[in-house]
Structure 1
Amino acid sequence: MISGDFNDPTSSVSNVTQAFHFSSGNPRIEETRGVMHLYRDDIGSSSSELPVGRKTLVCVLGVPNHMTYADFCQFCGSFIQHMLEMRIVRNDGVEDKYSVLIRFDDQSSTDAFYKHFNGKRFSSLEAEASHVLFTVDVQYTGSIEHAQTSPASSTEQPTCPVCLERLDQDTSGILTTICNHSFHCSCISKWTDSSCPVCRYCQQQSEKSICFVCQTSENLWICVLCGFVGCGRYKEGHAITHWKETQHCYSLELETQRVWDYAGDNYVHRLIQSKTDGKLVELNHHCAHVDDGCGSCNCSVDPGFSEAVLNSKVETIVNEYSDLLTSQLENQKIYFEALLREIEEETAREMSEAVDKAVSGNQKLQKMQTKLDKCVKEKKFLDELNENLLKNQEIWKAKMVEIEAREKKALKVKDIKIRELEEQLRDLMVCLELGCTETEVGSTTNNAS
């Protein structure tokens, strides 16, 4: 735990320090109280004037409650690998904020953390900034936990409740929450919930087992291989249905704690827990000396012999159960391997069908592309033909205009000639008429003479 060697509050160091009383833990179970001695604000206010005699222990004051442990670890994430231990504490009289005591692996990391985070805002959307002070010492008062802690303690090292690995601060930083539960910093930084996982687990009420299908709570059996809870044959028979679907033939009756073999249709559990003293006894056990008139299990034979016999039976049963479990696991392995092969075959078939569809689609695409190219060529040919026809149309229009003009001119010339001929014909007719008249006059004159 975070602690120091500052034992004399009347020493010269006390002139440059300030004391903060803190507490952590649940007051109804175990509360840890203490005093942390921090350098004053005016000591080391400049980054170039760090306190003389400082240690690798700092305190971040005034962290807002809405900032979870994961958020704080993310806030100071660039220095997590240099932190040996962090402890969340509550300052007396401050309810909406908490403080964090941090111990680093060396002094350079401590100074770099102080220079980087002192006065830095927790978020760009908030005005609150972090207040980092070097810590002289932390003294715990009235705590059984810290009173018994010593460097020479030979107790077993605790484990992280999240990853179940040892809480070794030399390999990974340790974070102790406000409720005195310790975790790896890397584990708690991934915990998105603001509550402590240990406290939440302890406060959870045990749920009553029910059938996974019909939700009944009577005559329940649990599969010893996969944990499926189903009702027995005297209800809806969902446990038997589970056996038929999965071939998990061993099921434990929750009320009597006996194991039933569906394949052999009998009980295979040899040991049960006695309801009187809680000891393990053999199912359907009878006294070995019943023929001698004992008639009860409290016979006066040698207790060492009885214990040896019981140990031998237990060892035999354990071996039998190990072989049985091995065979069942092998059967389950074969069963699931068969399922896996079926899934692989189905996947391969679907992939083959998808490839065939893709190939056929590609062929169709090629055909459509060929048709499109052909249509494009035809369109280009028709466009050229249309352009040539338009040019020819203009030429023929000019020729038609020229022909029409020639025809009009010819008709005009023809009309002129016709008029001239008509005039000549008229003159001729006049001449002819005049000639005939003169002839008639001459003949008349001759006749008269």
Structure 2
Amino acid sequence: MSPVEILDFLASFQEDIALVRILKDPERSNCMVLMQFKSQERADQFFHDHNGKYFNSIEQERCKIVFVRSIEFDPVVGEEYPDNDALEEKDADEANTLVGTLSPRLERRINSEQMRKLFPPPPAGMTEIPTCAVCLDRLDASASGILTTLCNHSFHCDCLFRWEGSSCPVCRYSHGDIGSSCEVCGIAEHLWICLICGHVGCGRYSGEHAKEHYQDTLHTYSLELETQRVWDYAGDGYVHRLILNKQDGKFVEFPSPENHSGERSQNPPTTSAEEEEGEHRKLEKLAVEYNFLLKSQLEEQRLYYERLLVRVEEGESRQLLNAHERERKQLKKANINLAQKTKKLEEELAFVRELNKSLIENQKQWKERVRLLEEQNARVEQQTALRIGDLEGQVRDLMFYLDTQSKVEQSAHREDIIGGTIKIESRTAGTDNTVTPSSFGRKTKDRMN
């Protein structure tokens, strides 16, 4: 992946990234990216969102993220990597040699000393912040994310994201130069690449994995990486190269450069300019032929992937439809059960309401009965109290009569008392009450009866 593709993959977290450094293992075809986030929370969120995620819809590689505990740098000793001053002097020497205006070494030293006076080095213990080669602003990690490429050049993430192309803006280093090898056995010789999907496989002298790829996918055309020849598996032969004739505008077959014959040429010898022009025409014809072939193969590849996408979408739609259908059936069944329970509860509610209504009516009736019984009981108690008072008076009279009778019978004047009368004087004037023993006895008996 190029730096622009990496930044496109990290676009959602670009504001949270402080440093990005691209690393590459020479023994492997994939690359590693070392990133430093501004906060641990965003780093955890990035791990949660992008770990195991596909880089794009075409490649099958997934993103694998691990946390780094520490980093160790090994110093490079030797002249394999010269410093920038030496490189600048070497470039200046080569440029002056090409132009033809050679300058003395002393003059270069004087110019270098003058530049150092104009731009003195930073004080001891301090490091000058480098500048971005695109916008010429300072590379401050606190203000914007910084990306370091494989060629050890640093840029702002925003500046490099707007850069067109996969090469480095400073040294034009291409980040796509990756050694090819068979995707099945890993061999790096006799390789063929499919013009439809880009699959790399070995030829007949190795494991014939390129042919197996054709048998699996029916991708007809394959390009040999060493000779750049195109093989047609359907026709079992190399593809005839067609070039556009400028005179009549028709396509004609281009002879293979390896087709040497023993016949002597009838044409007169050509000069170097004519040979160069002929080679240029051949290259133009080859480019036209390649563009025509590439266009047809890309169109076939587009149709193939469109069919795959339609098939995948149909499969996903079918699975989604089946899942929705199962869910709909479950919800329908649950709805039926809930409807039955609701109906049963409504019936129970109606029964309870009727029962409550009847109980309320019975309660009113019983309350009326209790009220009547209480009133009746009060009347009975009142009558009973009156009767008890009357009976108590009769009992007193009876006890008085019996006591008086016993006293009279025991008295010596019994005969006189029986035949005599008792006179009670009333306070009311003109009223005399005369009571005889016989009449008193009868009155007492009447009360008892």
Instruction: State TM-score, norm by structure 1.
Output: 0.37
Q: Which has the higher contact order (CA 8 A, sep 6+)?
A: 1
Name which one, 1 or 2, has greater alpha-carbon Rg.
Answer: 2
Please state which structure has a larger fraction of its residues in helix. 2
Please state which structure has a larger fraction of its residues in strand. 1
